[in-house]
Amino acid sequence: MQAELVPIGALPGLPQLFVDYVSDFERVRDLFAHDFRDPAAFDRAAAAAAARDVPRDELAALLLAQNARFGSGIPALANAGLLADPDAVAVVTGQQPGLFGGPLYNLYKAATAISLARALTARSGRPHVPVFWIASDDHQVGEVDHVHALDGGAGPVRISWPRSASRRVEPIAALSLDDGIATALERVAEVAQEAAHGRDVVALLEDCFRPGERLAHAFARFLARLFEPDGLVLVESADPALRRLGMPALAAELAYPSPTTAAAQQATDRVAALGYPVQVPLRDDCLNLFFGSRERFRVRCGADGFRVELRSSFVDGERVRTRFDAEVEEFSPSVLLRPLYQDALFPTAAYVAGPSEIAYFAQLAPVYERFGMPMPVVYPRKSITLLDEEVASLLRASELRVEHVLTGGEAPAAAVASLLPDGQLQERVLGIIHALLVGGPGLVPALVSGLDLDQFDHQVLDVAALRAAVVETASAG
């Protein structure tokens, strides 16, 4: 599908390191193990991933159980089982679970991973399995309990789950939807009442986001429904069985000073020397590990020992290591070790990363070396603006292109509200429900097929053209 392209460097709010990664890779080449533009890099990364000693059989069994609970379709279950094949590798992406699917970029991450996995499988003959890592061990609850949608000409409106808040530092995995979810669903129904696909979208959300359900589980079931024919394998990171399988590979972090911080410092200094802001500040007083499944605390460290819980006293390293061995499911990685936790489990050939993730991957090459793991290809997720029929008509009448709006030019208010809500890219503000309301749930398979893997600038996808592709595909079938 032919799409309007907007240069990445012309867009607002993107980290300069990411812009250079996409448009001037030679400037940052030394910070990464692979050149994502080089097909041979994927072959090398896949060969290295396939050769690694990862718990394939145990992981496949665990994924089959998780995806069965999520209601994933036959293609996803088949792909979960395929990971037991010693030749198969993974194309991983992920994000925290969010209300009603979270921001649009979650949709684009999953779609990019699926599309890339298909292309790599077809080109190489080696099975590449798309995996979405649900980062439910994160504790930034305030980032996932709301979503934005367009309410007619009023612009973006916040739809929140008025949850019963706790004063504890809760990981997202511990959050269960309460009766307040009905209030959020009612607000969606109000916004959706004029949309052509409103009833279908509300019915889908009501089926997935139910009182008493954990937010992470509801999010997983929602993605499973959207990508049912595409074979997307879902994995919830906070599953105790998964931690028992993967966290032992990070045992070397239980030392002072932190091996991860010491290794990351090398790359972090290079990032700063190139003039980029540092994405993940390094701390000498903490390990890159958290403790606790109901409450989550950073593991403190110093010359006097380690402190695992908030009010505990300092203990020596041997006692912490003994506790890690006995209760490994209570430990989880920080942002710097999360990719290595993933890769301790999966034979990861490529990771589909957003702009901020690419900025912190720039700090990780020495960390991979420290833990003896090969760094995967870091592939930039597709950056997309959806152009609905009403806004397309407004732009045609004004003889304007989407690029004009995205770069701050004057345009009809309704067009600006849709394409650049609150002065930010649509994908960062509006929720997945925006795509479903303007295109219906059937838009998702066409979106996967409509991505151009050969282009790394911002893609503008016309909803009418995508919907036509859905009809054409159905007719051909």
User: What are the domain boundaries of the chain?
Assistant: 250-262+273-333
pLDDT digits (tens, 9 = 90+) for 237-271: 999 999 999 999 999 999 999 999 999 999 999 99
pLDDT (tens digit per residue) in 134-162:
999 988 888 999 999 998 767 899 999 99
Whether 297 shows a pLDDT value over 60: the answer reads yes
Q: How confident is the model at residue 295 (pLDDT cuts 50, 70, 90)?
A: confident
244, exposed or middle or buried, with CB in 10 Å at 0-12, 13-18, 19+?
middle
Q: Which are the contacts of 450, defined by CB distance < 8 A and separation ≥ 6?
A: 1, 3, 461, 465, 466, 469
428-433-439-440 Cα dihedral, nearest 10 degrees = 150
Quote the mean pLDDT of the chain.
94
pLDDT given at position 21: 98
* pLDDT (mean) for 220-244: 97
User: If you average pLDDT over residues 174-179, what whole number do you get?
Assistant: 94
Q: Is a pLDDT exceeding 90 seen at residue 442?
A: no
Number of Cβ within a 10 Å radius of residue 319:
13
H-assigned helices in 227-276: 240-246, 259-273
pLDDT at residue 308, rounded to an integer: 86
- For residue 234, the cross-strand partners are 132
Q: What is the mean pLDDT of residues 95-111?
A: 98
Percent of the chain with pLDDT over 70: 96
Q: What six digits make up the tokens of 364?
A: 């990780």
| pLDDT per position as a tens digit, 400-431 | 999 999 999 999 999 999 999 999 999 999 99
More confident call, 104 vs 304: 104
